[in-house]
Structure 1
Amino acid sequence: DVFPVKDYGSGMTPFYTALSIWVGGLLMVSLLSVDNKHEHLQPIMTKRQVYLGKSGFFFLLGIIQALIVSIGDLVILKASIESPILFVSIAVFSSLVFNSIIYTSVSLLGNPGKAVAIILLVLQIAGGGGTFPIQTTPEFFQAISPYLPFTYSIDALRETVGGIVPEILITKVIILGLFGIGFMVVGYCLKPVTDP
């Protein structure tokens, strides 16, 4: 199905929303510590407890950020969105997934994790299919597109902008969720190993 979109800005809303959520996650790990800095708590808390506790804090900030961005798209920018509630919900869900990826990378790798998140950002800008159809990009970006969370976040958000095809939306949301679950499981399992 092909659905009309009111204007170019509304059509670009999914890309810039996903981009701003990822950049917000990067700013959070740059400004806030992912480790336990309280000396008196270190003997009584395991590395996994710290990992999960801090992740909750980052997720909460990510939810607030996604609400500001997505509601701002609707109220301030007046983007034409077919399903505003679903748009905001998917933005929040994308934020949880993106923050799980960024937070886990930095929690496990430290500063190199920030570099990984920035490299992922650059690859996703070109390979996420947000600005132009992925078929018009070089073969490298076409090849990596299915492995990038932006691809699924942008596609899910795009469904809410023009019109919803339930099968496509559900598939994109499930795959996006698998990224978040995968990174959280990896972080939970590897945190004691990478940070003894």
Structure 2
Amino acid sequence: MFKSEWQAVLKRPMVMVVLFFITLIPAIYSGVYLSSIWSTYQNTQNLPAAIVNTDRGTTDNGKKVNAGQDLIAGLYKSHSMKYAVTSRAKAEKGLKNGEYYLVLEIPHNFSQASRSLLSSRPTAMNLTYKVNPGADFFAGQIAKGTATAIQANLNKEISTIYYKNLLKGLAASSAGTQNTLTGSKNMTQGQQALATGMAKQTQGLQQLAQGIPNTAQTSALRTAAGQLAASSAQLNAASQTLLHGSQTMTTALTKAQASTPQLVTKAQNIALMAAPVQLKRVDVSNTPTNGVGMAPFAISIGLYVGCISLSFMYDMYSPKKRPTHAAAWWWSKYSLLLSLVGVQVILLALVVLKGLGLNPLSVVNTWVAMAVTAVTFITCVFGLNVILGAFGKYLVTILLILQLGASTGVYPIETANVFTKISSPFLPMTYGIHALREAISIGGSMTQDLAVMIAVTISINVLVMGKLTLDRRRGKFVD
């Protein structure tokens, strides 16, 4: 039994070839799919992002300040995304159609706000970032992380600027205090000299009073007068010293007051010093949850897997009786497949819309996108089975594997490898996912996606008709 089973396989080269290719499926699946997402986070620098800069700049202590330009220069150096400065209109249009994954808006008072944190009217440095997770949920998460990183870096930089200014002010204040101490010392010396002069003047007056009754003692009177004159001179000198000391201290105090930063200790100032940059997120698509963002990909996979299942359970080639012409042969198979796919679409839509509560922007467009996508998928499966036979069934599975990684269902195409980028435009699921995104979350046009899928459907059916025509003429059918 064992020997006969192996001999039956080994004696049939085509069976061996088919089995060999089947054994390759796990390797192909793992290799192709993992290679498309292998270094996703290392390739975020390829994700396009737009910057809208309306900052007017300002001056600080006579120096020009342009925080907006400084921020842009820092973003270019960071290589966190592929940044481009553009107009607001172009940025918003690009975000809507998937040209940009992030739009960062810098307000007109950005520089002014960066220097207002110590004033009586502090202003936060507001940054607005817009994302479109409906176009690609993963890219929206990357954009959010990038905006948060920008906020953290700016908070650090702005806080550093203010701390440096505070330290400079404190240093200048220390120098002013030293001058104040010098003036105080001069005043103390003047006060001592004034006290000495006043004592001597008092002594001279006492001696003068003692000499008045004895007019004959003129020498004592002269001596007292001399002492009085000397003490007057000392008194004048002490007064000058005192005046100089007072002026020195006044000047030092004025300088110290001017050089010391005027701290406003309001709660708002304290809060903004800790976090001067504030972010505002604007979501331009209807993507409230991760499930909504992943719905287009999950729906497309479900529809394709359903079509593969039909190819395993239903003979898509052999007619039940001799066909009168190729069109009848084709329609007998294709009409049944379309009916089965229609049931799949209805059941899938009920589960997603009613069971899970998906609330698309357009229910009608969602139904249309699902229907056209399903028809395209079953046509591809039908065509591969009819045209290539057993090998076509194999390629149906390979096509699924390729589409898992290259249809931009999870990760942006900009983060993928070269093979994935090249193959993506040729895969029907790429257009099915995009059409569903437009219908569910974005609300834009899906005309191009539908046109491509309809063109694929027509082209494959033309090839199928050609193959059936040849096979009918050769008699390759069951009577």
Is the pair's TM-score, using the shorter chain for normalization, greater than 0.5? yes
Q: Which amino acid is 1:176 matched to?
A: M
- For 1:29 and 1:45, the matched residues in 2 are separated by 24
Does 2:329 align with 1:50? yes
Superposition CA RMSD, Å: 1.5
Runs of 4+ in 1 over 6 A off after TM superposition: none
SS in 2 for 1:75: helix
Q: 2:454 aligns with which of 177, 190, 194?
A: 177
Match among 18, 35, 42 for residue 317 of structure 2:
35
Of the candidates 322, 339, 343, which is equivalent to residue 64 of structure 1?
343
Match of 1:3? 285
Letter in 2 for 1:179: V
Q: Answer with 79-88 or 181-190: which moved more.
A: 79-88
Q: How far did residue 107 of structure 1 move?
A: 1.5
Q: Secondary structure at the match of 1:35?
A: coil
Structure-2 residue corresponding to 1:102:
381
The match for 2:295 among 10, 13, 22 is 13
Tell me the CA shift for residue 68 of structure 1.
1.1
Verify: 1:187 aligned to 2:469, yes or no.
no
Distance 1:194 1:132, change over 3 A: farther
Unpaired runs of 5+ residues, structure 1, are none
Q: Deviations over 1:120-160 (max 9, x none)?
A: 11000100000111111111111110000000000000001
Tell me which of 395, 410, 430 is aligned to 1:151: 430
Cα drift, residue 37 of structure 1: 4.7
Post-superposition offset of 1:4: 3.6
CA contact (8 A) 1:81 1:160 kept: yes
Contact 2:329 2:468 in 1 (8 A): no
Q: Which runs of 5+ in 2 are unaligned?
A: 1-95, 97-283, 475-479
Greater relative CO (CA pairs within 8 A, separation 6+): 1
Cα distance in 1 for partners of 2:318, 2:384 equals 16
Shift of residue 47, structure 1, vs aligned partner: 4.0
Provide the C-alpha distance between the structure 2 equivalents of 1:127 and 1:194, rounded to a whole number of angstroms: 34
Q: Deviations over 1:18-77 (max 9, x none)?
A: 111111001001101113453xx21x5334421222011101111110121122111111
Larger Rg: 2
2:400 to 113, 116, 121: 121
Q: Is the 8 A contact 1:26 1:102 kept in 2?
A: yes
Structure 2 distance, partners of 1:22, 1:45, is: 32
Q: Structure 2: how far apart are the matches of 1:185 and 1:149?
A: 17
Return the structure number with greater strand share: 2
- Shift of the 48–86 alpha-carbon distance from structure 1 to 2, 3 Å rule, reads same
Q: What is the identity, as a one-letter code, of the residue corresponding to 1:163?
A: I
Matches of 2:327 and 2:402 in 1, distance apart?
A: 30
